[in-house]
Amino acid sequence: MSKFSILSLVLFFAVFVGCNKKDSKSGGAFSSSVAERTYVAPGEHDEFYAFLSGGFSGQMSVYGLPSGRLLKVIPVFSQDAEKGWGYNEETKPMLNTSFGFVPWDDSHHPDLSQTNGELDGRWAFINGNNTPRVARVSLETFETEEILEIPFTAGNHASTFVTENTEYLVGATRFSIPINDEDMSIEEYKSNFKGAISFVSIDQEHGHMDLAFQIHTPGYNFDLSHPGRGKSHGWFFFTTYNTEEAHTLLEVNASQNDKDYIVAVNWKKAEEYIKEGKFTVKKAEYAHNLYDEETHTAVSTMKNEVKVLDSNLPGLMYLLPTPKSPHGCDVDPSGEYIVGNGKLAADLTVHSFDKMLKAIEAKKFVGESYGIPILDYDEVVAGVVKQPGLGPLHTEFDGKGNAYTTFFISSEVVKWKLGTWEVVDRQPTFYSPGHLMIPGGNSQKPFGKYLIAMNKITKDRYLPTGPEMNHSAQLFDISGEKMELLSDFPTIGEPHYAAGIPSEKITGKSKKIYNISDNKHPYATTAANQARVERKGNDVHIYMTMIRSNFSPDNIEGIRLGDTVYFHVTNLEQDFDVPHGFSMMGANNAEILVMPGQTETLVWTPKKAGVWPFYCTDFCSALHQEMQGYIRVSPQGSNVPLAWSLGEPVKTAEQHR
């Protein structure tokens, strides 16, 4: 659709929705009704949580639906000065990788834990696409608790989708590479560059992630994936593009084949092979970063080997030909239909799981690729949606037999029927939607009330903000026969994907505070009268407490240039939503923001002699402005004794006794 057509549609739509249409339910103006349906009155709560990836922000954003309000940005893969994430000593190890400290990633696809194919509200997962990683976020604390690097992989795009009992989440290579880091010319790509599909197991008690095994594959670009469910539980499906194995000017050279593949992986079979020892162990260094709940600190350990299966092991993997450079790989709630969103294809292709099993049984193969059987397209296709739009990217389901697909080029969401493949509705989006989300859409039980389209191009949708505009989401009501556009809301970074869940699956277990008596941080100070300062050579450890509205200690002397000062700051509050912040003038380390009952550490290397203030950075009470202190830094060689104040003149350790 041309820009002109898009603009016409905007104008048409604005007039149509704003002025004419009546809402039969309330008798009022349609716009009033729409306004009401997105409005969450002060003090009332949204119906759904929506977890949107941050894309190039590297984080995960939490929105409420239907209001579109940004409830929180959860720091995951990127440093976040707001929360001290990746700056304080407790969280720095979370951003460690085999490449060292990596301050950023490109987060792509959140998914939510499931039990028996239904959302269970335990964890959210999200992948890092650039430095290949996957992360787990607790839905009790809304904090990132674990990050695992994925070896032998470049561009971990087809991630983090989970199986229906959260047995595994997956990762897969987007940019195939010479998998043993060999010094190989890029010109030798074909046949030599390889991909990897990773199965990461999830410990059901704590959620801990472990790289169970990898399958090393031909050098396709893996794009997206979805688990089988119900009858197809035990299988996982991945879209590929660049089955041409091109390595330059991919926009042309990877768009040659009429069909690429959906790769079907039988992971139950993979488990058997692993059990039978039919794997090789490959050496690879990759980081596993785990937040320890006991000590409120993170530990990064380096792992060094992976169990690898060959992709041509019998029965492990099959290729379903799918037109053309498919992006989304979406499995319907029944587990029968696998939608290949061929972004350059005229039609939308839907494969049948039952037909696939039969075709495998009957060996309906049309060839093989690097030893992997290629199934006969005609034997596996369930149907096609004929010319539904241009540039399909992603399909979700409402649990009522309908599917919804985004079309990037024709800028629309199209609703169609599973089984009959007929288009039953289409609504324009503004502009160029990438992905869409229906809460529970990747499960056996979607909640088909709302749909959000995540649009890639914003242009005139909001007040201008210079050359850069926030990306735009659009909320649709899909409870009726026709989709209704309710609202536009701007988003953080670039939401590539989202996962939604009814709020009641989370709210009851949301953690309010950290119990101070459970604080096992090695430098915790759990009562103000235990606050103190200790020197160990050139390291000075300050055991500090915060409570409305003072620091203990609040005056410190006897620091010398050349010292490294560790502020170990414990928030003694035991009241919900009373964090304290701590900042130190000129610190090269951002600030820290400490939740009730927690301890965090800020390291400061004074640059100049003098007296420097510190203060609370989170307005905590009517006397927050008074929550401050001073630290005196003397020149090197000074004999000012170490001394501190607990609301009185400074005293030495001896005098404090």
Query: Of the candidates 97, 214, 406, 444, which one interacts with its own copies according to CB under 8 A?
Result: 97
Tell which phi-psi region holds residue 296, choosing left (phi > 0), alpha (psi between -120 and 50) or beta. left
232 within 8 A of 335, measured Cβ to Cβ: yes
Query: Of the candidates 52, 53, 79, 388, which one interacts with its own copies according to CB under 8 A?
Result: 79
Other Cβ atoms less than 10 A from the Cβ of 367: the count is 11
* Segment interacting with its own copies, rule: CB under 8 A, options 65-73, 203-211, 315-323, 371-379: 65-73
For residues 167 to 206, the per-residue mask of contacts with its own copies, x marking binding by CB under 8 A and - elsewhere, is -------xx-xx--xxxxxxx-----x-------------
Q: Which is nearer to its own copies, 236 or 489 (CB)?
A: 489
Give the separation between CA 499 and CA 510, rounded to whole angstroms.
Answer: 18
Query: Of the candidates 5, 8, 20, 28, which one interacts with its own copies according to CB under 8 A?
Result: 28
Query: Of the candidates 20, 36, 190, 204, which one interacts with its own copies according to CB under 8 A?
Result: 36
Give the separation between CA 317 and CA 573, rounded to whole angstroms.
Answer: 55
**Interface with its own copies in residues 257-316 (CB under 8 A):** none
Give the separation between CA 300 and CA 482, rounded to whole angstroms.
Answer: 50
Nearest Cα residue to 226 out of 375, 384, 341: 341
How many residues are listed for the chain in this entry?
657
Give the separation between CA 190 and CA 587, rounded to whole angstroms.
Answer: 50
Query: Of the candidates 131, 352, 402, 519, which one interacts with its own copies according to CB under 8 A?
Result: 131
* DSSP summary character for residue 220: P
* Segment interacting with its own copies, rule: CB under 8 A, options 46-54, 114-122, 296-304, 377-385: 46-54
146: contact with its own copies by CB under 8 A: no
Query: Of the candidates 6, 52, 73, 212, which one interacts with its own copies according to CB under 8 A?
Result: 73
Give the separation between CA 558 and CA 566, rounded to whole angstroms.
Answer: 14
Q: Which is nearer to its own copies, 337 or 497 (CB)?
A: 497
Query: Of the candidates 487, 519, 545, 570, which one interacts with its own copies according to CB under 8 A?
Result: 487
Q: At closest approach, how far in Å is the CB of 472 from its own copies? A: 9
Helix, strand or coil for residue 186? helix
Query: Of the candidates 557, 569, 570, 600, which one interacts with its own copies according to CB under 8 A?
Result: 557
Residue at 223: amino acid letter: D
Helix, strand or coil for residue 189? helix
Tell which phi-psi region holds residue 19, choosing left (phi > 0), alpha (psi between -120 and 50) or beta. alpha
Give the separation between CA 312 and CA 378, rounded to whole angstroms.
Answer: 23
Residue by residue, DSSP assigns 421-437 as --EEEEEE-SS-EEEEE
Give the separation between CA 223 and CA 174, rounded to whole angstroms.
Answer: 6
Give the separation between CA 334 and CA 332, rounded to whole angstroms.
Answer: 6
595: contact with its own copies by CB under 8 A: yes
Q: Which is nearer to its own copies, 384 or 457 (CB)?
A: 457
Give the separation between CA 397 and CA 414, rounded to whole angstroms.
Answer: 12
562: contact with its own copies by CB under 8 A: no
90: contact with its own copies by CB under 8 A: no
Q: Which is nearer to its own copies, 234 or 597 (CB)?
A: 597
**Interface with its own copies in residues 335-374 (CB under 8 A):** 343-344
Count interface residues toward its own copies (CB under 8 A): 180
CA distances from 580 to 84, 568, 599 (A): 12, 13, 11
Helix, strand or coil for residue 517? helix
Q: At closest approach, how far in Å is the CB of 621 from its own copies? A: 8
User: Do you find a cis peptide bond into 431, omega within 30 degrees of 0?
Assistant: yes
* Segment interacting with its own copies, rule: CB under 8 A, options 162-170, 196-204, 361-369, 456-464: 456-464
For residues 414 to 433, the per-residue mask of contacts with its own copies, x marking binding by CB under 8 A and - elsewhere, is ----------------x---
Nearest Cα residue to 461 out of 485, 435, 487, 492: 487
Q: Which is nearer to its own copies, 397 or 567 (CB)?
A: 567
For residues 234 to 263, the per-residue mask of contacts with its own copies, x marking binding by CB under 8 A and - elsewhere, is -------xx----xxxxxx-xx--------
Query: Of the candidates 111, 167, 223, 412, which one interacts with its own copies according to CB under 8 A?
Result: 223
Query: Of the candidates 5, 20, 82, 539, which one interacts with its own copies according to CB under 8 A?
Result: 82
Query: Of the candidates 20, 315, 420, 462, which one interacts with its own copies according to CB under 8 A?
Result: 462
654: contact with its own copies by CB under 8 A: no
630: contact with its own copies by CB under 8 A: yes
Q: Which is nearer to its own copies, 337 or 582 (CB)?
A: 582
* Segment interacting with its own copies, rule: CB under 8 A, options 82-90, 109-117, 265-273, 289-297: 82-90
Query: Of the candidates 118, 120, 143, 376, which one interacts with its own copies according to CB under 8 A?
Result: 143
Q: Give the up-direction half-sphere exposure of residue 438: CA atoms within 13 A in the CB hemisphere.
A: 32
Nearest Cα residue to 543 out of 559, 527, 558: 527
Structure tokens at 483: 């989709």
Query: Of the candidates 506, 540, 544, 572, which one interacts with its own copies according to CB under 8 A?
Result: 506
Other Cβ atoms less than 10 A from the Cβ of 649: the count is 8
Looking up tokens 């100049």 gives 608
For residues 100 to 119, the per-residue mask of contacts with its own copies, x marking binding by CB under 8 A and - elsewhere, is xxxxx-x-------------
Q: At closest approach, how far in Å is the CB of 28 from its own copies? A: 6
Q: Which is nearer to its own copies, 101 or 387 (CB)?
A: 101
